[in-house]
């Protein structure tokens, strides 16, 4: 029997995950979709055999053919959907961010602990990207020595109209926060945000780009250039500088052409293109683990830690000073 999944939120990511579950991955089918926009939910459901459309997440989660939940609504709606999923003791794949701030992430972590078992995989899909996986594997061998610094670049073509200066941190740099914690195996202890004069290509009032410096409890530094209106493409790069060498990913050199006196290649235009394989592998890994009765991948603890670092980052952006990150002690469930 394939796993019956309810997808909550059928916007850009949600609709793409519905397509992925329906056509790309094995062992699951979409049995329900939910959106506050009833017409959008109906339109997406119409394309999938046996899929019902809802406007209330609770109604979908109560349906007999729903075994698991994929949350792809906006971040502020995640907490309510997660708590409802816990009431039904359903496994969840929750798009990043787990929740928009540390207090709400803590409430989710406490509710999961009250269940007594892990139920959540957080959608930090870079952990499934082939290049990131290679970098992590190389660092783990110890051949390069201890990582000293990580340099990250994260560029989007253009930000959506609702994007605020703090979202550059909480929505975008959230990925580098998780990637840094995962690649280095360190917790982040402090955040500084430097703010160059905004690009004239950014919407009025948006602090874009920003330069973020993360300090870790292992004594490493991770810096992030976040530039969400770079205009030319979607680029995510990372370079680890270690005691005996460096390793770098994201140059996009898979195909290089030479023609008419020039050489070059193409730049991806958005995340659905750059991370297509990562999303497919992420959702397949979640379905496979769920069918085995296991929970793998980024945990609620990882979602909470990222939320706490991003919250400190937003304060650092506003105040212009280095801001320490205060994490609660890691609960036994996540050790
Ligand atoms: P979107 O605005 O395109 O879609 C969100 C959808 O959710 C809309 O259709 C909206 O009507 C619906 N919605 C709003 N409130 C709801 C609620 N309470 N219950 C049900 N539906 C609700 O946004 P998106 O770009 O698809 O982002 C969705 C999530 O995916 C966010 O958490 C975002 O951070 C995340 N995301 C992740 C990646 C990634 O690379 N992993 C990329 C983009 C977005
Ligand atoms: C978006 O929500 C994502 O998660 C993308 O991966 C990221 O590149 C973008 O900046 C975010 O807004």
pLDDT digits (tens, 9 = 90+) for 136-171: 999 999 999 999 999 999 999 999 999 999 999 999
Ligand 1: does its nearest atom lie under 6 Å from the Cβ of 250? no
**pLDDT tens sequence across 25-79:** 999 999 999 999 999 999 999 999 999 999 999 999 999 999 999 999 999 999 9
75 C-alpha to center of ligand 1: Å?
7
How many whole angstroms separate alpha carbon 329 and alpha carbon 94?
A: 23
Ligand 2: does its nearest atom lie under 6 Å from the Cβ of 156? yes
- When pLDDT is cut at 50, 70 and 90, the band that residue 174 belongs to is very high
Q: What is the separation, in whole angstroms, between the first and last Cα of the chain?
A: 32
Query: What pLDDT does residue 250 have?
Result: 97
For the CA of 168, the closest atom of ligand 2 is: 10
How many whole angstroms separate alpha carbon 260 and alpha carbon 173?
A: 39
- What are the distances in angstroms from CA 13 to CA 35, 159, 218, 278, 279? 12, 15, 34, 13, 10
CA dihedral defined by 200, 170, 309, 109, rounded to 10 degrees? 180
- When pLDDT is cut at 50, 70 and 90, the band that residue 99 belongs to is very high
Identify whether the C-beta of residue 162 lies closer than 8 Å to the C-beta of residue 118.
Answer: no
How many whole angstroms separate alpha carbon 154 and alpha carbon 236?
A: 5
At residue 253, does pLDDT exceed 90?
Answer: no
Identify whether the C-beta of residue 300 lies closer than 8 Å to the C-beta of residue 79.
Answer: no
Residue owning tokens 């329900």: 32
How many whole angstroms separate alpha carbon 154 and alpha carbon 227?
A: 6
SS3 state at 208? coil
- When pLDDT is cut at 50, 70 and 90, the band that residue 125 belongs to is very high
For the CA of 275, the closest atom of ligand 1 is: 40
Percent of the chain whose predicted confidence (pLDDT) is above 70:
100
Average pLDDT value for residue range 181-199: 98
Ligand 2: does its nearest atom lie under 6 Å from the Cβ of 171? yes
Q: In what helix (H) or strand (E) does residue 113 lie, and over which residues does it extend?
A: helix 102-115
- What are the distances in angstroms from CA 240 to CA 77, 152, 185, 222? 35, 9, 13, 9
At residue 333, does pLDDT exceed 90?
Answer: yes
Query: What pLDDT does residue 254 have?
Result: 83
Both tokens assigned to 183: 């690649």
37: left (phi over 0), alpha (psi -120 to 50) or beta: beta
At residue 110, does pLDDT exceed 90?
Answer: yes
Identify whether the C-beta of residue 99 lies closer than 8 Å to the C-beta of residue 79.
Answer: yes
**pLDDT tens sequence across 192-202:** 999 999 999 99
For residue 98, give the ligand nearest its CA.
Answer: 1
Enumerate the domain spans of the chain: 3-125+277-299, 127-271+306-334
Class of domain 3-125+277-299 as given by CATH: alpha beta
For the chain, percent helix, then strand, then coil, each to nearest 5? 40, 25, 35
Q: What's the pTM?
A: 0.98
CATH of domain 127-271+306-334: 3.30.360.10
At residue 121, does pLDDT exceed 90?
Answer: yes
For residue 168, give the ligand nearest its CA.
Answer: 2
Average pLDDT value for residue range 205-214: 98
Ligand 2: does its nearest atom lie under 6 Å from the Cβ of 124? no
SS3 state at 322? coil
Ligand 1: does its nearest atom lie under 6 Å from the Cβ of 96? yes
Ligand 1: does its nearest atom lie under 6 Å from the Cβ of 57? yes
Identify whether the C-beta of residue 191 lies closer than 8 Å to the C-beta of residue 323.
Answer: yes
Residue owning tokens 């769920």: 290
156 C-alpha to center of ligand 2: Å?
8
DSSP code, position 332: G
Average pLDDT value for residue range 248-274: 94
């Amino acid at each position: 029997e394939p796993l019956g999944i309810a997808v909550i939120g059928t916007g850009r990511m949600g609709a793409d995950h519905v397509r992925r579950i329906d056509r790309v991955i094995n062992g699951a089918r979409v049995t329900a979709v939910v959106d506050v926009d009833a017409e959008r939910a109906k339109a997406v459901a119409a394309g999938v055999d046996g899929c019902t459309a809802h406007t209330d997440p609770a109604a979908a989660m109560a349906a007999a053919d729903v075994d698991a939940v994929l949350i792809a609504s906006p971040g502020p709606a995640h907490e309510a959907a997660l708590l409802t999923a816990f009431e039904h003791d359903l496994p969840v794949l929750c798009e990043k961010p787990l929740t928009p701030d540390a207090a709400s992430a803590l409430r989710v972590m406490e509710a999961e602990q009250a269940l007594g078992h892990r139920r959540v995989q957080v959608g930090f899909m870079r952990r499934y990207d082939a290049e990131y996986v290679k970098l992590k594997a190389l660092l783990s061998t110890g051949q390069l020595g201890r990582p000293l610094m990580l340099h990250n670049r994260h560029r989007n073509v253009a930000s959506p109209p609702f994007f605020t200066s703090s979202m550059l941190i909480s929505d975008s740099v959230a990925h580098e926060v998780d990637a840094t914690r995962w690649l280095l195996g360190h917790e982040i202890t402090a955040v500084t945000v430097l703010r160059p004069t905004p690009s004239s290509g950014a919407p009025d009032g948006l602090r874009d780009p920003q330069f973020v410096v993360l300090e870790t409890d292992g004594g490493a530094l991770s810096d992030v250039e976040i530039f969400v209106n770079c205009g030319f493409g979607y680029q995510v790069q990372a370079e680890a500088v270690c005691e005996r060498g460096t390793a770098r990913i994201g140059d996009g050199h898979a195909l290089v052409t030479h023609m008419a006196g020039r050489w070059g290649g193409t730049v991806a235009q958005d995340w659905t293109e750059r991370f297509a394989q990562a999303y497919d592998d992420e959702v397949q890994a979640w379905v496979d683990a769920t069918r085995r009765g296991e929970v793998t991948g980024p945990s609620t603890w990882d979602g909470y830690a990222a939320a706490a670092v991003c919250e400190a980052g937003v304060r650092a952006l506003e105040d212009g000073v280095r801001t320490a990150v205060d994490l609660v002690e890691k609960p036994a469930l996540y050790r």
